[in-house]
Amino acid sequence: MDQLTIRRATADLPVFDEDVELRSLATLGTDGGSLSDFQFGDTAMRALDLENVTLLHGKIRAVQATRVNITAVRMDSVEFTGCDLSSINWEGGKLSRVRFETCKLLGAQFQGMTLEHVVFVGCKLDYATFEEIRAAGPVLFVRCSLPEAEFTGCDLSDSLFDDCNMRLTSFGSGTYRGCDLRGNDLSELSSTSNLKNVIIDRSQTMQLAKALAAELNLTFGDDIDDR
């Protein structure tokens, strides 16, 4: 089984049977049902709508969609590569062993989902919102762009962020125990007071202090005239 391991976090990657040829699909469909051992991609579309669908062992590549709505979808062993699904609205469902590689997910909205062994690598997640996301297994963000992304009401226990752009990334109320933030510049984070029980390097202490000072709008004594 292929895995991605960074420090103490290990995520299982999608599994494909080499003896099974993936069948090419013209569409992923909009109605309930199950699709397995498939590939879909190299296409541009105005809308992609998925609801109550189960996707198993599939590769989705170079898909560009103007509007994307995904509701109550279960995925296991699915990989997205080079897709532009900006402004996607993804609500509910569970993802297991799902990998997003070099995808554009600008302004994406993820809500009420369960993630287990999910990996984002080299993805653009600027202005994305993650609301009430539960990490039932490892969730890794690696070399991702996350400026002004927001996490609210999430359980990101034992998740990991590595070499990410986290300028004004906001961590609202939630559970972050064991979340590994090493390998990132934390000096411009937002809502740092919620990051209890996370893992950082000692050298990042001053970065968090700088972020907290900015958040509290502090005034330093050496910047004012006491006369």
Q: How far apart are CA 104 and CA 108, in angstroms?
A: 9
Of 2, 5, 24, the residue nearest 14 (C-alpha): 2
| Whether the model pTM is above 0.85 | yes
Both tokens of residue 152? 């609210």
Both tokens of residue 179? 């979340």
**Residue 148 pLDDT exceeds 80:** yes
Tell me the per-residue pLDDT of 76-133, one tens digit each, with 9 for 90 and over: 999 999 999 998 999 999 999 999 999 999 999 999 999 999 999 999 999 999 999 9
Tell me the per-residue pLDDT of 39-54, one tens digit each, with 9 for 90 and over: 999 999 999 999 999 9
Chain mean pLDDT for the chain:
94
- Domains annotated on the chain, with CATH: 3-217 (2.160.20.80)
Mean pLDDT computed over 129-155: 98
Asked if 52 and 32 touch (Cβ cutoff 8 Å), the reply is: yes
Tell me the per-residue pLDDT of 19-42, one tens digit each, with 9 for 90 and over: 999 999 998 876 678 999 999 999
Mean pLDDT computed over 161-172: 97
